[in-house]
Amino acid sequence: MDANTRREEIKKVLQAAKGPVSATALAKDLNVSRQIIVGDIALLRASGFDVLATARGYITPYWGLSATGYVGKLACQHTSEETKDELYTIVDAGGEVIDVIVEHELYGELTGRLNITCREDVDEFISKAKNARLLSDLTKGVHLHTVACRHGEEFREIKKRLSEKGFLYVDRR
């Protein structure tokens, strides 16, 4: 298989995937090294193909959404210890946590891809977070989440539940 054919195959796999696909899995399936896949992904991005790297592998943006899905942003603030409860609240109400965004004084907007869809994903994230600092730690707990769900009503329910728990950011000035 030549390089162009391989990159087209990578695009097809990612577009059809129901979740993240690792570079290692792609390399095995296409009988090349992981480094070749990393290079292919870089070339695909440079050609305009929208592909994102997550901790669990590559995805196309909003891979879990149907065409009728709803995407909104939530401004939140809480302690690191409350992160698990915040994420459980969102996924239990039917939301997918696409990312976390903070406004850093030096670097501006920093975004971390999460793609958390269920409690198992939350548990995996929290387990990994034990060995790292959360982005929200840089901003005294203030952060945004991009949340995807089936419709606006579901998003409003997520917002209501987060508000009831005191997780939504409130300007107290």
Q: For residue 3, what are its two tokens?
A: 């390089």
Instruction: Give percent helix, percent strand, percent coil of the chain, each to the nearest 5.
Output: 45, 25, 30
Alpha carbon distance 41, 84 (integer Å): 32
Alpha carbon distance 60, 67 (integer Å): 14
Alpha carbon distance 25, 45 (integer Å): 19
Asked if residue 145 has pLDDT above 50, the reply is yes
Ordered structural domains, the chain, with CATH: 3-59 (1.10.10.10), 70-164 (3.30.1340.20)
- pLDDT value of residue 67: 45
pLDDT more than 70, % of the chain: 94
Alpha carbon distance 55, 75 (integer Å): 23
Model confidence pLDDT, tens digit, residues 28-85? 999 999 999 999 999 998 888 888 887 778 888 755 554 447 888 999 998 889 999 9
Name which residue leads in pLDDT, 17 or 33.
33
Model confidence pLDDT, tens digit, residues 121-142? 999 999 988 888 888 877 888 8
Give burial (CB, 10 Å; 0-12/13-18/19+) of 16. Answer: exposed
- pLDDT value of residue 165: 96
- pLDDT value of residue 172: 61
- pLDDT value of residue 134: 82
Asked if residue 103 has pLDDT above 90, the reply is no
Count other Cβ atoms within 10 Å, centred on residue 164. 10
